[in-house]
Amino acid sequence: MGVDHRSAPASVREALAFDGPRCAEGLQALTSAFPGIEAVILSTCNRVELYLAGDPMAVPEAEALAAELIRFHGVDEDLIGGHLVSYHDEGAVGHLFRVSSSLESLVLGEGQILGQVRDAYRAAIDAGTVGPIFHQVFQAALRVGKLVRTQTGMDQGKLSVASVAVDVAREVFDSFTDKTVLVIGAGKMGETTLQHLKGLNPGTILVTNRSAERAEAAAARWGGQAYPFDRLGQALVEADLVISTTAASEPIVTLEQYHRVQRARRNRLALILDIAIPRDFDPRIGDLDRVMLYHVDDLRAQAEQNRMQRQKGVDPALAIIERETATCYARLRHQHDAGHLLRELGDWYDAARGRELEKLFASRPHLCADESDREAIAHAMLRLQNQFLHHPRAAVRSAAADPPENHPHPLLDYARHLFGLGDRSPKSLRKI
């Protein structure tokens, strides 16, 4: 159960978030409120989801879980009304697999969510709220997330203008260790650009902004050097790569100004990526010799092409997820049925052993004149029972771990028939 970027606005997601230590506190609150469950909390900027598993009597209904969420965060019921979405059983497994494969993400194919699912799983392990169901389900989710990326190409191509701009730079320059990069603007787009540029490992990063304080702060965060905005001309002379991201209402670099810059550069190759709206550079600058000028529309077209390429991978990804969901849930169901069979088998033999011991002790009281003798005989009978059942139990567990094509292994029915247990398998799997 939870909310995401489609079902709830940011204000609701923020109110329900489990940040930092709140995640461990939330896990403990869930397992205290609903004893016997397994629990994992996935809390990101785009989603807050509670995953619960256990026996049907342990897992709460949607209303009870919603009430606990409201109590824990101390929010008004009206705040989350109509925003919570829930999935059950195989639907819950399939939803998690879609999340880990980024099909539920704001940006299709983004890679961050897989790490966030892994972190949520590890946090629940540390809190002691993961058991056999979620060990299997979340490990499968991580594997499926990787499988979708490798087999569908959904992680190929950048989708943001800033990241595409950096990709264009990679195509122009073989190496950046000897290059000077200039970022004009220290707002949100400038920060995003600096983040992507860091992976290029350039020799020098210059950051300039009308606000010297903002330029200095951004440069300090990303290992760059702040440059005075009133010396922009000199910064352009030094820079091999320029990425401009300001919110200026008119061009900040005219054709005449850049003529002077290029003469001072002695016509060295310059790559200018103008991702500002309106444009920061006069478009005619791109006609100058040894100057490559890309505007935001050029980069947007590439980003859209990348998005369409990822969209083509959705159907193959869904096919993978459907297959893996069915396999995972079938394995859970078979293991649950096998566990029920093993408990039945153990209970039947425990009862039979108990009856025979009572008869023995009643008919041969001299065998148990001493309490220690009675305990020794009972213990010997238990060991004998366990030896008889060792191989049948191992065979049943093995059959449940590897069911043939998502169908129950015939050995489970054979075991019931062989030991006279009848067809008393449970009708429903533990709820997830």
Q: What is the pLDDT of residues 376-424, one digit of tens each?
A: 888 888 888 888 878 877 777 777 666 666 566 676 666 776 777 765 4
Token pair for 39: 């629990």
Rounded mean pLDDT of 9-20?
89
Predicted confidence (pLDDT) at residue 349 exceeds the cutoff of 90: no
Rounded mean pLDDT of 347-365?
85
User: Is 45 known to be catalytic?
Assistant: yes
Neighbouring-strand partners of residue 181: 205, 241
pLDDT of residue 207: 97
Ordered by where they begin, the domains of the chain are 1-154+313-376+408-432 (3.30.460.30), 161-307 (3.40.50.720)
Measure the CA–CA gap between 106 and 47, rounded to whole angstroms. 10
Rounded mean pLDDT of 165-183?
90
Rounded mean pLDDT of 10-37?
93
Annotated active-site residue in 23, 45, 328, 368 = 45
Stretch among 219-223, 276-280, 326-330, 334-338 having the lowest mean pLDDT = 334-338
pLDDT of residue 361: 85
Q: What is the 8-class DSSP label of residue 291? A: E
Predicted confidence (pLDDT) at residue 215 exceeds the cutoff of 90: yes
pLDDT of residue 405: 62
For residue 430, name the pLDDT band (cuts at 50, 70, 90).
Answer: very low
For tokens 């983004």, what's the residue? Answer: 110
Predicted confidence (pLDDT) at residue 141 exceeds the cutoff of 60: yes
For residue 342, name the pLDDT band (cuts at 50, 70, 90).
Answer: confident
Predicted confidence (pLDDT) at residue 136 exceeds the cutoff of 50: yes
pLDDT of residue 99: 96
Stretch among 12-21, 156-165, 390-399, 409-418 having the lowest mean pLDDT = 409-418
Q: How many beta carbons lie within 10 A of that of residue 145, not counting itself?
A: 25
Q: Residue length, the chain?
A: 432
Report which of 110, 112, 124 is spatially closest to residue 49, judged by C-alpha positions: 124
